[in-house]
């Protein structure tokens, strides 16, 4: 380490100085030091870190360190149930500045996590536990479209809502992604990224053809199928443990233009009626001949069951699916939507109705999955709805979501990207939410009971790494399955000191 040149005041004082005349402050400090001609050694790694960051990001809006007034506002936790305090939050404006921040953190022994939309469930973008250096990518929102091959270049701080608009404006193009506008491309394109079009186009990360990545040794590299292939493979499913993607290059598709949005709902109902509806839905989505233009989600909530989804086609085509006869007892409605932007807006609005969407709250979530060979038996479905009718849930705000996957996502080999769960036909996500108080043990236990019942504890456990469950034991195994050993070998080579980490990221393989 070089001998430090300046002595920094306590953080609170520092923030005052930063807000005005930082440069003249530095000038005065240097004068002062020159006058006394004594370089004072910095006492601890935190001061070393702050000093290092202070040299590369000098403006008030580019860095905030723990202890400052309003620090919590800069941290802005999405899941209020996980109280995490990072060592520093930085807002670099270029890949070079991202690399410089990584260097400061790594040299002083701090873990690093990038933050894009900040919508991860485990607050992993803040480190997941105290003391990380956060690299907030909000200034990295460059966009361009190559109109020859329709590949788009997207800064990794761009939120999904903005991605949709930019692709539309650049030639009516689209890609697969989830339905919440506030989710970030950084966390979404690197973990999976399912949405209504993924049965046709693949997941969001299947669109990524190239990326720029800052590695643990602070070098900036391009990664693709022909350059740094291992890193490319790792960032398509597990990026947060391997580097910071600063920019994506993605394949795009012509945007779908005509769609039917359908809803079938069963208000309350007996457990038997609910189970019967679920079985009909499972049979429908498990049909191997089901068109890929059909997306579907079944949601179980306190007041009943709702089946919603999008059919990409005309109302006439939709009518040939005979949906009205599929779900007896449920009340159906459809709206035809013309134009991609209108459709994406509709999804986002629905999401806010179904769930709280963009705003921070206290919540806990779990996930698991079924392959076509391995669906829930009729008896298990009956037992599930009996459990739902009788279990203590600790809140009215709980949901079980069953999402149809399959289609294109099933054709990609398990080893093609580090995202591993290619055989999944149905994902289940379960949520329990409080607006104003921490999640209780009763709430957690309910989700635990549901998972234990539906998985029967027999099959290998699969969890979606995009729905972080911080209390999952062996999280890395559940998230990356059979791709974990290769991830750990790559980790040992490119990040042996585990600079990029959160409580569930892959550990370097032992050599």
> Residue 215, interface with ligand NAG (CB under 6 A)?
yes
Per-position DSSP letters for 10-78, written without gaps between them: PHHHHHHHHHS-HHHHHHHHHHHHHHHT-PPPP-SHHHHHHHHHHHH--SGGGEEETTSTTHHHHH--S
Residue 197: DSSP 8-state: T
Query: For ligand FAD, which residue of 50, 90, 116, 129 counts as binding (CB under 6 A)?
Result: 116
Binding residue (CB under 6 A) for ligand NAG from 494, 504, 506, 508: 494
Of 169 and 219, nearer to ligand NAG (C-beta) is: 219
Nearer to ligand NAG, 267 or 493 (CB): 493
Look at residue 410 and give the partner it binds from ligand NAG, ligand FAD, none, a contact being a CB closer than 5 to 8 Å depending on partner kind. none
User: For residues 236, 248, 246 and 367, what is the CA-based torsion angle, rounded to 10 degrees?
Assistant: -40
Q: For the chain, what percentages of helix, strand and coil (3-state, to nearest 5) are there? A: 40, 20, 40
Within 10 Å of residue 201's Cβ, how many Cβ atoms?
22
Using CB distances below 5 to 8 A depending on partner kind, what does residue 116 bind out of ligand FAD, ligand NAG, none?
Answer: ligand FAD
Shortest distance (Å) from residue 330 CB to ligand FAD: 23
Which of 117, 407, 475, 508 binds ligand FAD (CB under 6 A)? It is 117
**With respect to ligand FAD, which residue has the nearer C-beta, 47 or 136?**
136
Round to whole Å and give the CA distance between 502 and 484: 16
Q: Among ligand NAG, ligand FAD, none, what binds residue 217 when CB lies within 5 to 8 Å by partner kind? A: ligand NAG
Q: Which of 108, 129, 190, 455 binds ligand FAD (CB under 6 A)?
A: 190
In 3D, which of 71, 54, 49 has the Cα closest to residue 18? 54
Task: Quote the least distance from Cβ 114 to ligand FAD, whole Å.
Answer: 4
We find the least distance from the C-beta atom of residue 231 to ligand NAG, in angstroms, to be 7
Interface region with ligand FAD, contact rule CB under 6 A, candidates 193-201, 301-309, 333-341, 384-392: 193-201
Pairing of strands 133-136, 143-146: unpaired
217 touching ligand NAG, by CB under 6 A: yes
Which of 99, 245, 424, 425 is in the footprint of ligand FAD by CB under 6 A?
245
Query: Per rule CB under 6 A, is residue 102 in the interface with ligand NAG?
Result: no
Q: Say how many C-beta atoms besides its own lie within 10 A of residue 199's C-beta.
A: 24
- Among the listed residues 119, 138, 366, 422, the single contact to ligand FAD using CB under 6 A: 119
What is the rounded CA–CA span in Å between residue 264 and residue 470? Answer: 33
Contact call for residue 366 and ligand FAD (CB under 6 A): no
Q: How many Cβ atoms sit within 10 Å of the Cβ of residue 287?
A: 10
- Rounded CA separation 212/244 (Å): 8
Which residues are 143's β-sheet partners?
Answer: 154
Regarding 493 and contact with ligand NAG (CB under 6 A), the answer is yes
Q: Which of 18, 103, 173, 188 binds ligand FAD (CB under 6 A)?
A: 188
Shorter beta-carbon distance to ligand NAG: residue 315 or 493:
493
Closer CB to ligand NAG, 210 or 423, in the complex: 210
Of the residues 18, 103, 124, 366, which one makes contact with ligand FAD according to CB under 6 A: 124
Angle at 137 between CA 133 and CA 138, to 5 degrees: 125
Contact partner, 466, from ligand FAD, ligand NAG, none, Cβ < 5-8 Å per class: ligand FAD
Instruction: Pick one of 219, 314, 378, 414: the residue that binds ligand NAG (CB under 6 A).
Output: 219
Q: Are 67 and 108 in contact (CB under 8 A)?
A: no
User: Is residue 99 within the footprint of ligand FAD (CB under 6 A)?
Assistant: no
The total number of residues shown for the chain amounts to 511
CB 367 within 8 A of CB 399: no
Distance of CA 281 to the CA centre of its chain: 27
Q: How far apart are CA 495 and CA 497, in angstroms?
A: 6
Residue 100 in the binding site for ligand FAD (CB under 6 A): no
Q: Of residues 46, 95, 113, 218, which one binds ligand FAD by CB under 6 A?
A: 113
Q: What's the min distance (Å) between Cβ of 157 and ligand NAG?
A: 23
DSSP string, 298-320: EEEETTEEEEEEEESS-HHHHHT
Report the C-alpha gap between 484 and 241 in whole angstroms: 12
Contact residues toward ligand FAD (CB under 6 A) are 113-121, 124-125, 137, 156, 178-180, 183-184, 186-188, 190-195, 239-240, 244-245, 357, 466, 502
Contact residues toward ligand NAG (CB under 6 A) are 215, 217, 219, 493-494
């Amino acid at each position: 380490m070089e001998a430090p040149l300046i002595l920094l005041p306590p953080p609170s004082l520092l923030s005052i100085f930063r807000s005005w005349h930082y440069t003249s402050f530095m000038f005065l400090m240097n004068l002062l030091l020159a006058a006394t001609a004594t370089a004072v050694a910095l006492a601890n790694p935190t001061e070393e870190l702050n000093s290092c960051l202070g040299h590369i990001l000098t403006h008030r809006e580019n860095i905030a360190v723990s202890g400052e007034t309003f620090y919590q506002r800069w941290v802005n936790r999405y899941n209020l149930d996980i109280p995490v305090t990072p060592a520093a939050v930085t807002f670099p404006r270029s890949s070079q500045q991202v690399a410089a921040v990584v260097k400061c953190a790594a040299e002083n022994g701090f873990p690093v996590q990038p933050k894009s939309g900040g919508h991860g469930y485990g607050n992993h973008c803040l480190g997941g536990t105290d003391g990380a250096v956060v690299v907030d990518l909000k200034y990295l929102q460059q966009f361009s479209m190559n109109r020859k091959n329709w590949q788009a270049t997207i800064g990794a701080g761009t939120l999904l809502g903005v991605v949709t608009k930019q692709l539309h404006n650049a030639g009516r193009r689209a890609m697969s992604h989830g339905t919440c506008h506030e989710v970030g491309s950084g966390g979404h394109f690197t973990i999976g990224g399912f949405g209504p079009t993924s049965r046709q186009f693949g997941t969001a990360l299947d669109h990524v053809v190239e990326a720029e990545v800052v590695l643990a040794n602070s070098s900036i590299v391009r990664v693709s199928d022909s350059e740094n292939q291992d890193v490319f493979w790792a960032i398509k499913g597990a990026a947060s443990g391997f580097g910071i993607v600063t920019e994506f290059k993605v394949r795009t598709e012509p945007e779908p233009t005509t769609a039917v949005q359908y809803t079938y709902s069963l208000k309350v109902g007996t457990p038997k009626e609910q189970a019967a509806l679920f079985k009909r839905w499972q049979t429908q989505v498990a049909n191997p001949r089901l068109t890929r233009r059909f997306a579907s989600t079944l949601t179980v909530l306190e007041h009943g069951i709702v089946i919603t989804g999008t059919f990409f086609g005309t109302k006439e085509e939709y009518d040939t699916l005979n949906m009205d006869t599929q779900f007896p007892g449920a009340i159906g409605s459809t709206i035809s939507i013309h134009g991609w932007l209108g459709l994406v807006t509709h999804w986002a609005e629905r999401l806010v109705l179904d769930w709280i969407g963009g705003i921070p709250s206290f919540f806990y979530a779990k996930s698991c999955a079924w392959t076509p060979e391995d669906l829930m038996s009729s008896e298990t479905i009956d037992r599930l709805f009996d459990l739902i009718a009788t279990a203590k849930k600790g809140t009215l705000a709980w949901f079980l979501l069953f999402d149809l996957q399959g289609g294109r996502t099933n054709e990609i080999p398990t080893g093609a990207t580090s995202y591993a769960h290619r055989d999944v036909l149905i994902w289940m996500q379960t949520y329990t939410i409080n607006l104003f108080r921490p999640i209780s043990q009763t709430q957690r236990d309910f989700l635990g009971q549901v998972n234990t019942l539906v998985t029967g504890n027999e099959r290998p456990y699969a969890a979606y790494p995009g729905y972080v469950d911080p209390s999952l034991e062996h999280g890395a195994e559940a998230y990356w399955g059979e791709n974990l050993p290769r991830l750990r070998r790559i980790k040992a080579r490119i990040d042996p000191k585990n600079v990029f980490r959160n409580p569930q990221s892959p550990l370097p393989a032992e050599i």
